[in-house]
Structure 1
């Protein structure tokens, strides 16, 4: 049974969330809400870097009471730097799912084991296989 502790401060959470990997969008996060994303698979790597788009996922992690609700979404990160809710093509699904599952496992370890804060999937979250 894990020991439940006081919710950590925003700045302590940021430090731990940064350590998970390059996914945290710190400038778009605020106390109680953290945004992550992952550009998993390049749509067309023959394009110049500034024109490239990616298949991937993004996560809105929001404090709800004494736990975090994780709302994952999948789609395409377009050349304007915006996420678009598009279904992943078959050739990108396995890689995007692999990256997301690895990330989610690390996220749960940090929040639940380090801080005693439960992470649940939001009812509108995409489920990864």
Structure 2
């Protein structure tokens, strides 16, 4: 029996998206939009854990019922738990790009294999490959 469906339910998508990795932020997601993020590089690991900030990426993945559109952002995850669009230092770019590319490839492959759904990159998305 195939898992492929021309119109997967939100719950089937959530289950599949969780399996891609630890990046899905389910409370920030709904039936048309899924939010992911990755804290790739600690700004200062000498800080106590509750005070640490991270360089990384976040993704807004929109679903129109037929395909997905990915809009990636780069920036700083600050001490209050919010993403801020900030220029990422050159020392962090390689690791951010590595985690972002690995995640994106897994996401695209899973959505294609499991649901025959494609992912396009939004024109305002940051480039990472």
Q: Same fold judged by TM-score > 0.5?
A: yes
1:64 aligns with 2:67: no
- Is the Cα contact below 8 Å between 1:7 and 1:117 reproduced in 2? no
Runs of 4+ in 1 over 2 A off after TM superposition: none
Alpha-carbon offset, residue 64 of structure 1: 3.0
Q: How many residues are paired up?
A: 126
In 2, Cα distance between the equivalents of 1:5 and 1:121?
A: 22
Provide the alpha-carbon RMSD of the alignment.
1.1
* Structure 2: runs of 5+ lacking an equivalent: none
> What residue is the counterpart of 1:44 in the other structure?
44
The offset of 1:19, in angstroms, is 0.6
CA positional deviation for 1:61:
0.2
**Contact 1:37–1:57 (CA<8 Å) still a contact in 2?**
yes
**Contact (CA 8 Å) 2:6, 2:66: kept in 1 or not?**
no
Aligned twin of 1:21 = 21
Q: Does the 8 Å contact 2:20/2:106 carry over to 1?
A: yes
Deviations, residues 56-110 of structure 1 (Å, cap 9, x unaligned): 0000000135110000000000000000001110000000000000000000011
Other structure's SS at 2:74 match: strand
- Which stretches in structure 1 are left out of the alignment for 5+ residues? none
Alignment of 1:1-129 (within 5 A): 5-64=5-64, 66-129=66-129
Please state whether the residue corresponding to 1:6 is helix, strand or coil.
Answer: coil
- TM-score, normalised to structure 2, is 0.94
Cα pair 1:24 1:37 within 8 Å, conserved? yes
